[in-house]
C-alpha cells in the first residue's frame, strides 16, 4: 500500500501523508499495537531500477532520473 492508504488505515487526515514518510517508525509502532507488522519497500527508480535506502526520494543518484516509484508499505 502507499502512504495514502496507510492514512486511511490509521484514520489519519489525507493531508498528513507527508507525515507518514517522516514518521514511519512511529507508524510502525502503531501498527504493531494493532497486532500487525509493517514492512517498507523503498522507492525505486523506474528508469534504472536503483533502490533507495531512504523512504523519501525525488531523484535517482545513479541515472538522475526523476521517474521514481514511491515507497510502498506492506502491513500484515
Ligand atoms: Zn535511476
> What pLDDT does 63 receive?
98
Structural domain for 70, as ranges: 3-75
CA distances from 3 to 17, 24, 26, 48, 65 (A): 6, 10, 14, 23, 22
54 alpha-carbon distance from chain centroid = 9
56, three cell numbers: 523519501
57 CA to middle of ligand 1, Å? 11
Q: Is residue 58 within 8 Å of residue 48, measured between CB atoms?
A: no
pLDDT in tens, 18-64: 788 788 888 889 889 989 999 889 999 999 999 998 888 889 999 99
> What pLDDT does 17 receive?
78
Is 23 exposed, middle or buried (CB count within 10 Å of its CB: 0-12, 13-18, 19+)? middle
User: How many domains is the chain built from?
Assistant: 1
64 CA to middle of ligand 1, Å? 6
> What pLDDT does 44 receive?
95
More confident: 6 or 61: 61
36 CA to middle of ligand 1, Å? 33
Amino acid at each position: 500500500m502507499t502512504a495514502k492508504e496507510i492514512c486511511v488505515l490509521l484514520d489519519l487526515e489525507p493531508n498528513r501523508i507527508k507525515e507518514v514518510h517522516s514518521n514511519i517508525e512511529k507508524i510502525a509502532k502503531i501498527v504493531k499495537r494493532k497486532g500487525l507488522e509493517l514492512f517498507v519497500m523503498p522507492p525505486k527508480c523506474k528508469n534504472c531500477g536503483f533502490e533507495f535506502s531512504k523512504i523519501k526520494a525525488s531523484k535517482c543518484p545513479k541515472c538522475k532520473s526523476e521517474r521514481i516509484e514511491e515507497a510502498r508499505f506492506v502491513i500484515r
